[in-house]
Amino acid sequence: MISYDYKSKIALLGDCNVGKTSLLQKCNHNNIIQNITPTVGVDIDIIEKPTPCGNKIKLQFWDFSGDEKYDFITQPYFSERMKYDCVIIMFSLSDKKTQENIQKWIDISKKCLIKNHTKVIIVGNKLDEVDVIDDLHQNFIYDSQYCYFDISVKLFENIDNLIQHIITTTINQYIESQKPVEVYVKPRASKLPCCTLL
């Protein structure tokens, strides 16, 4: 059994056909399977990577279907009890409808967040299919409180930066979890000796 120095559990959300499963195929097998069958409910995929220090890290991706007809399968997994370390919301740079649905997926992701722990990353895929980034997309980048990446799964552009960011985030989360918890103890009131007046 392989042992890992770090592990991360990642929820991968977004509309159908934005490239979620293709991203995992590209990272794991360095190829994209043409005519990928849409995800039914949820699939789990593992990506193993070395850290910059040579340690082993396991990235466990929960690849959720973007099709609403599978909501009865996926909804129970959108919960804080699933303990996701990271949530990735993916959309297509060449499909305005998927951009308009980003907020919907952000709202869904809020059900999964562990306060002060879970990180949210927004990913715009299919950079190879656009020449100019539209105003909706630009406004989202500048106004967003989340980390953002433009990528092209087809050309494997900027994917390494995305994965390295996840690795760095995972290590930082681990370090943060090892810090001792500071507990404030209220000092007891001092008992002064009684004075007896004669």
The domains located in the chain, with CATH, are: 6-178 (3.40.50.300)
DSSP-derived 3-state class of residue 162: helix
Predicted confidence (pLDDT) at residue 133 exceeds the cutoff of 70:
no
Percent of the chain with pLDDT over 90: 58
Please state, in angstroms and rounded to a whole number, the distance separating the CA atoms of residues 62 and 85: 11
Closest CA to 156 of 129, 120, 135, 126: 126
Q: What average pLDDT score do residues 66-90 get?
A: 93
Token pair 């009890």 is at which residue? 81
DSSP-derived 3-state class of residue 181: coil
Which tops the pLDDT comparison, 185 or 29?
A: 29
pTM of the predicted structure, to 2 decimals: 0.85
Predicted confidence (pLDDT) at residue 3 exceeds the cutoff of 90:
no
DSSP-derived 3-state class of residue 12: strand
DSSP-derived 3-state class of residue 137: helix
